[in-house]
Structure 1
């Protein structure tokens, strides 16, 4: 099977992005993402609206992915899809479509764990970036997850620490909402932070286990701080927006680096790879790069297009599983909670 050309059609529908990709072995031929705009009106993802939008988007997105890759569906070797974790209604759309298409084409079906895919996105073929070697430490940071994972091989992973409450992406977005910024607010905090003083305002570092995270207390302290200052000056936020954003981002990055440092001390592994939507954050990227010099870490940061939810990362796991003949049966179901 090593010399065989494998074409994988991958489908990702875990949250509010409908994505399809075509891979030839470990190389991405196309990676199409349809982003749902309707959720901006509500300040967050509405599950029922997300699943309806997936139903509208999935056929055109798959069609575009095949067309851009210049591949006929009859050439496909297998269909890979996100089984979970994610929103159940959204997952059902992708799962049902993948099962139907694999049955119709009579080709293998491959289920993929969304969080595993974020970490294995580093193994997509790319001439400009190097790949981590096993074992390495993975940090998954997204709107729904924050985990430190020991990655022993492609399919053997162990969670070393995780959030006890809210995810880091939620902390960014909720903080932005407190400041009156539109959804999704995380990228806006990153944008305004670039012009601010990160040490202007001080926020507490949560005291939890050495490898675990907690962000609910930080969100509460930011809320009380803003309420207190706005009572004194109604224009406090607009006058200090860049400094507030810089201080929030500085605190969150400090928490992440503190936990990673503990993981390196505990395992002795200095290879760090990040994945998930929040890995697009410039403050986190800069902090990791700095540690290459200050702590002798080897850091691996995915391309922006592979940070947010996308089907290419599902496809690379599909390819790796195809080589091992790790196929799924037609009675497989979506799982909203699906641990690595």
Structure 2
């Protein structure tokens, strides 16, 4: 059985084909980064227009790579939320139209569930993270800790009360003069920074609970930069290092607390920021010290992509969870609202 997955929640157009026996057959991604960089952030109307122009060629390319035609597809999965409503509508309307034309099911997929289950895409079933586990979902739009009892069985433990971790990475990068989206470049610069020259706070780590707050780090970075006596590449690298260490330490402390509070011994990290090398190293060290287990996807599947949508679509199609032709998108859609498989 094969599912075509369509991802258009923000500024990446993703198309993939997943086979329940052969795995991932094709995965195509078009990034709009260069277009939005001019404006310093994502412009929703431009994003939706770009999805419209790129989505059909990407579908054709994915089918060609897999050596398939639409008659060989058994279901169409699309991101129904959360995300930008105008961008979501592109994938939803095309997904439903294709399903109708081919007389096959369409599956509305939660974007966050796609990220959360991404570590299972390439792994053999015996290497899947066994339920239950704690998941850290960390991206440009979300920073959440979730207790996962099974597919579709999610309990939110904590989340950011302001900026997401990925968002504050990009905002701090902009303060350092790095073009949007600068989070990845900031991390590369941080590798050249001197540890300890600057000390940033670890927000909300000294109070109980599992919520996050990152907007204060951005303000702290802004004040530090504004008060600099000298502005050279090394100083900026030192600030980048201090900032990244603060974010990573905060995430690590909260993950340890979540494991302690739940009594669970497995941690899954997912989302765009989960590709951050420093975060992976620190979390792995913490988990190994505890004797627990950690799971994450390969780095090219951490950002928004069609593969995760096709995979979740397959899981829910095999459980007979698919929609009628009614097109529904949800810009806000909590994981806790999903149906268990």
Tell me which interval the TM-score lies in, with the shorter structure as reference length. Answer: over 0.9
Cα distance between partner residues in 1 of 2:195 and 2:209: 24
Structure 1 position 278 matched with structure 2 position 273: yes
1:191 alignment partner, one of 174, 185, 188: 188
1:99 alignment partner, one of 93, 96, 99: 96
Deviations 1:213-262 (A, max 9, x none): 00111111111111111xx33x2x53412211111110000110111011
Cα distance between partner residues in 1 of 2:281 and 2:195: 14
CA contact (8 A) 1:83 1:111 kept: yes
Q: Report the Cα offset of residue 127 of structure 1.
A: 5.4
Cα distance between partner residues in 2 of 1:239 and 1:136: 40
Structure 1 position 142 matched with structure 2 position 139: yes
TM-score, normalised to structure 1, is 0.94
1:253 alignment partner, one of 248, 251, 268: 248
RMSD of the alignment, in Å?
1.5
Cα distance between partner residues in 2 of 1:326 and 1:239: 54
TM-score, normalised to structure 2, is 0.94
Q: Could you say what secondary structure the match of 1:42 adopts? A: coil
Trace 1:116-155 onto structure 2 (pairs within 5 A).
116-126=113-123, 130-155=127-152
2:81 alignment partner, one of 79, 84, 97: 84
Trace 1:33-182 onto structure 2 (pairs within 5 A).
33-36=29-32, 37-126=34-123, 130-182=127-179
- Determine the structure 2 residue equivalent to 1:3: none
- Determine the structure 1 residue equivalent to 2:24: 28
1:301 alignment partner, one of 296, 319, 324: 296
- Determine the structure 2 residue equivalent to 1:220: 219
- Determine the structure 2 residue equivalent to 1:336: 331
How many residues are matched? 331
Structure 2 gap segments, 5+ residues each: 336-341
Question: Relative to 1, partners in 2 of residues 1:100 and 1:128: Cα closer, same or farther, differing over 3 Å?
Answer: closer
Q: Could you say what secondary structure the match of 1:174 adopts? A: helix
Q: Report the Cα offset of residue 126 of structure 1.
A: 3.4
Cα distance between partner residues in 2 of 1:267 and 1:127: 27
Trace 1:191-210 onto structure 2 (pairs within 5 A).
191-207=188-204, 209-210=208-209
